[in-house]
């Protein structure tokens, strides 16, 4: 029997209407599935649509955004009914640690009083019960319960990030979206936060989407990863497949651009920049930076094709190699 994914995103598109009336196609046909206990990495350079993708799944985009596609939690579609159908799930089933979340605590209130806020708002708990739960949540992320009475400035950056994760877990969601949760933290603390997310996925059976532009982060914490480029998924597969059997030139360049991963200090930046998303893209969006591009790449956009048992990539070269084999 094939089990229904806990979290499923199908053919997600997001268009932002720009002030001059033009449209920017920020997310273009993104699909992925996630089961309980899984951590999926969402990686790619700045501006490739990572944050927009996860904000869309929470129904948190501004009114200038148009969203299409399907978003399912345990099989139930939540996008088509608009705000009314997303609202009951937001924070209770699907929660998010925002980009820069560790800086979002109000400096004038204790951390504990801010963690109880979503519980009160969603009718989960109030008063002494909510305060007790806040202490439990802090313990769960490795902070003594008594620290609930301390102010954010008394916490280190790593503790604030842990507290932000605790706050996202306040309403016991099944799905946790973490946007760049380790940025700005030192390497040791980064590793601890990643370990925490992986262990929460395991012990609570959470489905976690971990957004990062940092490939070592993916290797550390994720079982699978989706590499995004120009609002699309360029390649999706197990972290092992992406490392050792990549089928997209962009994934390979991203790895080459990552220091330490290959055991030396090489940092090779990827020449050029991603295409503008406020103009129509003809052909493969990566072709201008690709050293293996063929004629077809200029005219036809490659579709995602299966290149392994649960490994997909969008590159014409895979189809050419397949044709030669046949
Ligand atoms: N509110 C908005 N209005 C117009 N364009 C937007 C808006 N938000 C994002 N964009 C555009 O959508 C595209 C995707 O942005 P997004 O923030 O999702 O990228 P990202 O992958 O999260 O980048 P980063 O790594 O820098 O956080 C970019 O071209 C960005 O400029
Ligand atoms: Mg972002």
Q: Is 162 exposed, middle or buried (0-12, 13-18, 19+ CB in 10 A)?
A: buried
Return the bridge partners of 43, or none.
212, 227
pTM: 0.93
Dist. CA 48–CA 63, nearest whole Å: 20
Residues 6+ apart with CB under 8 A from 36: 6, 174, 205, 206, 207
Query: With a 6 A CB cut-off, is 52 part of the ligand 1 pocket?
Result: yes
Write the CA distances from 194 to 39, 133, 149, 163, integer angstroms.
Answer: 10, 23, 26, 14
Mutate to test the pocket of ligand 1, among 19, 23, 24, 60 (most ligand atoms within 8 A of CB): 24
Q: Whose CA is nearest to atom 16 of ligand 1?
A: 49
pLDDT lower than 50: segments of the chain: 261-262
Q: Which domains does the chain have, with CATH numbers?
A: 7-93+173-325 (3.40.50.300), 109-165 (no CATH)
Q: Does residue 51's CB lie within 6 angstroms of at least one atom of ligand 1? A: yes
Distance CA 166, CA 142 (A): 10
Q: How many CB atoms lie within 10 A of CB 213?
A: 18
- Is 55 near ligand 1, meaning CB less than 6 Å away? no
Q: Is 62 in the pocket of ligand 1 (CB under 6 A)?
A: yes
pLDDT of residue 101: 79
Whose atoms come closest to the Cα of 47: which ligand?
A: 1
- Nearest of 171, 166, 98, 174 to residue 138 by alpha carbon: 166
Give the CA distances from residue 177 to residues 74, 186, 266, in Å, rounded to whole numbers and listed in that order. 16, 21, 31
Q: Which residue has a Cα nearest atom 8 of ligand 1?
A: 52
CB of 49 sitting under 6 A from ligand 1? yes
Torsions phi, psi for 313 (to 5 deg): -150, 150
307 Cα–ligand 1 center, Å: 29
Output the residue whose Cα is nearest ligand 1's atom 4.
Answer: 16
Per residue, the 3-state secondary structure of the chain, as one string, reads CCCCCCEEEEEEEEEEECCCCCEEEEEEEEEEEECCCCEEEEECCCCCCHHHHHHHHCCCCCCCEEEEEEEEECCEECCCCCHHHHCCCECCCEEEECCCHHHCCCCCCCHHHHHHHHHHHCCCCCHHHHHHHHHHHHHHCCCCHHHHHCCHHHCCHHHHHHHHHHHHCCCCCCEEEEECCCCCCCHHHHHHHHHHHHHHHHHHCCEEEEEECCHHHHHHHCCEEEEEECCEEEEEEEHHHHHHCCCCHHHHHHHHCCCCCCCCCCCCCCCCCCCCCCCCCCCCCCHHHCCCCCHHHHCCCCCCEEEECCEEECCHHHHHHHHHHC
Burial class (CB in 10 A: 0-12, 13-18, 19+), 41: buried
**Going by C-beta distance under 8 Å and a sequence separation of 6 or more, which residues neighbour residue 322?**
none
Instruction: Tell whether ligand 1 has an atom less than 6 A from the beta carbon of residue 125.
Output: no
CA distance 102 to 215: 21
In 3D space, the residue among 227, 118, 214, 220 whose CA is nearest the CA of residue 172 turns out to be: 118
Q: How far is the CA of 158 from the centre of ligand 2 (A)?
A: 20
Condensed to tens digits (0 to 9), the pLDDT of residues 186-238 reads 888 999 999 999 999 999 999 999 999 888 888 889 999 999 999 999 999 99
CA of 20 to the centre of ligand 1 (A): 17
Mutate to test the pocket of ligand 1, among 20, 49, 177, 180 (most ligand atoms within 8 A of CB): 49
- The reply to whether ligand 1 has any atom less than 6 angstroms from the CB of 135 is no
Q: Ligand 1 centroid vs 219 CA: distance in angstroms?
A: 24
């Amino acid at each position: 029997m094939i089990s229904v994914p806990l979290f499923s995103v199908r053919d997600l598109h997001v268009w932002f209407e720009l002030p001059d009336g033009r449209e920017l196609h920020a997310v273009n046909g993104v699909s992925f599935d996630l089961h309980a206990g899984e951590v999926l990495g969402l990686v790619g350079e700045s501006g490739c649509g990572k944050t927009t993708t996860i904000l869309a799944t929470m129904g948190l985009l501004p009114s200038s955004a148009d969203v299409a596609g399907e978003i399912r939690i345990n099989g139930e579609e939540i996008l088509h009914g608009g705000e009314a159908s997303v609202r009951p799930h937001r924070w209770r089933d699907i929660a998010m640690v925002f980009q820069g979340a560790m800086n979002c605590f109000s400096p004038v209130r204790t951390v504990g009083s801010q963690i109880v806020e979503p519980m009160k708002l969603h009718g989960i708990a109030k008063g002494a019960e909510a305060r007790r739960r806040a202490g439990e949540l802090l313990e769960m992320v490795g902070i003594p319960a008594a620290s609930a009475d301390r102010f954010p400035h008394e916490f280190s950056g790593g503790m604030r990030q842990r507290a932000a994760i605790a706050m996202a877990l306040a309403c016991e969601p099944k799905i946790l979206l973490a946007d760049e949760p380790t940025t700005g933290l030192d390497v040791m603390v980064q590793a601890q936060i990643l370990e925490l997310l992986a262990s929460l996925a395991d012990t609570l059976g959470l489905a976690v989407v971990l957004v990062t532009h940092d490939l070592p982060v993916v290797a550390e914490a994720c079982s699978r990863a989706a590499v995004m480029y120009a609002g699309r998924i360029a390649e999706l597969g197990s972290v092992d497949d992406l490392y050792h059997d990549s089928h997209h030139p962009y994934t390979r360049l991203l790895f080459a651009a990552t220091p330490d991963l290959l055991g030396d200090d090489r940092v090779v930046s990827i020449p050029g920049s991603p295409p503008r998303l406020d103009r129509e893209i003809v052909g493969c969006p990566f072709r201008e930076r690709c050293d293996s591009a063929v004629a077809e790449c200029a005219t036809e956009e490659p579709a995602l094709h299966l290149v392994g048992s649960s490994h997909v990539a969008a590159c014409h070269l895979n189809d050419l190699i397949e044709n030669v084999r046949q």
